[in-house]
């Protein structure tokens, strides 16, 4: 008789816990969305998450020369650090049987990715140090070097997602992903 009761308790615990949640300790602390803002640096291809600010290629050139050129090379064409990769050029090199040169201009499908990546990961030695205006401006400069926008075009939260990248339609889904 003494052993039956604990067994019965165990069985009932199993049967009332179909989801892990029922037994999970629920130790996440609620946080207000506004308090997440300093961490939320994701930018969607539709521009979701882009901050206020603006910049042009003309303004971005000085920032590029000061903070990007040491690795990426003059005008982004010949990187001085191999892993930095070329930012400019390569248009037409995706064609069959050519050696592809995959740059922002020749390969990247979304201009928003440029803002997202520069803000989160550049300049390499001092990431997350650029202001929103500086990121917009240097993004505009790289887009301009690739012939995608004009030197005085204003790039901001509204215009950046509207930039049509040359290889926007260059991607297709992998046919063998798990369902």
Partner 1 sequence: MIRKTHPELVDPAAGNGILSRRVFLEGTLVVGATAAGLSCGSAEPLAVQPWMKVPGTGFAGYGQPSPFESKVVKVFPPPPNPPGVGSSRTPLHMLEGMITPSGLHFERSHSGVPEIDPDQHRLVIHGLVKRPLVFTLEALSRYPMQSRIAFIECGGNSLALNAPQAQPLNVAAIHGLLGCSEWTGVRLSTLLDEAGIEPEARWVIAEGADAAAMSRSIPLTKAMDDALLCLYQNGERVRPSNGYPLRLLLPGFEGNMNVKWLRRLKLTAGPAMTKDETSKYTILLKDEKAWQFVFPIEVKSVITRPSPGLALRDPGFYEISGLAWSGNGSIRQVDVSADGGRSWAPAALQGPILPKAPVRFRTAWQWNGGPAVLQSRATDDTGMVQPTRAQFAAERGFRGVYHYNAIASWRIDEMGEVSNVYA
Binding residues for partner 1, rule CB under 8 A, total: 56
132: Cβ contacts below 8 Å, ≥ 6 apart:
51, 52, 53, 119
**Minimum distance, C-beta of residue 138 to partner 1, in the bound complex (Å):** 15
- Residue 58 near residue 65 (C-beta atoms within 8 A): no
Instruction: Give the Cα separation of 178 and 160 in Å (integer).
Output: 33
Q: Which is nearer to partner 1, 52 or 175 (CB)?
A: 175
Neighbours of 80 (CB within 10 A): 11
Could you say whether residue 117 binds partner 1 (CB under 8 A)? yes
The contact mask relative to partner 1 for 8-47 (x = CB under 8 A, - = no) is -----------xxx-xxxxxxxxxxx--x--xxxxxxxx-
Q: Is residue 171 close enough to count as binding partner 1 by CB under 8 A?
A: yes
Least separation in angstroms between CB 41 and partner 1:
7
d(CA 8, CA 179): 40
**Closest approach of partner 1 to the CB of residue 7, in Å:** 22
């Amino acid at each position: 008789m003494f052993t039956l009761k604990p067994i019965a308790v165990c069985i009932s615990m199993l049967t009332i816990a179909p989801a892990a949640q029922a037994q999970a300790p629920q130790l996440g602390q609620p946080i207000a969305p506004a308090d997440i803002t300093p961490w939320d640096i994701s930018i969607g291809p539709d521009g979701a998450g882009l901050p206020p600010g603006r910049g042009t290629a003309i303004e971005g050139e000085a920032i590029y020369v000061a903070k990007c050129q040491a690795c990426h090379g003059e005008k982004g064409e010949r990187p001085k650090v191999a892993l930095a990769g070329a930012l400019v050029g390569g248009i037409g090199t995706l064609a069959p049987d050519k050696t592809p040169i995959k740059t922002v201009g020749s390969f990247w499908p979304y201009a928003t990715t440029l803002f997202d990546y520069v803000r989160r990961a550049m300049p390499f030695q001092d990431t997350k140090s650029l202001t929103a205006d500086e990121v917009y401006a240097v993004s505009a400069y790289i887009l301009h070097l690739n012939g995608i926008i004009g030197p005085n075009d204003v790039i901001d939260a509204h215009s950046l997602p509207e930039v049509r990248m040359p290889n926007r339609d260059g991607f297709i889904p992998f046919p063998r992903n798990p369902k």
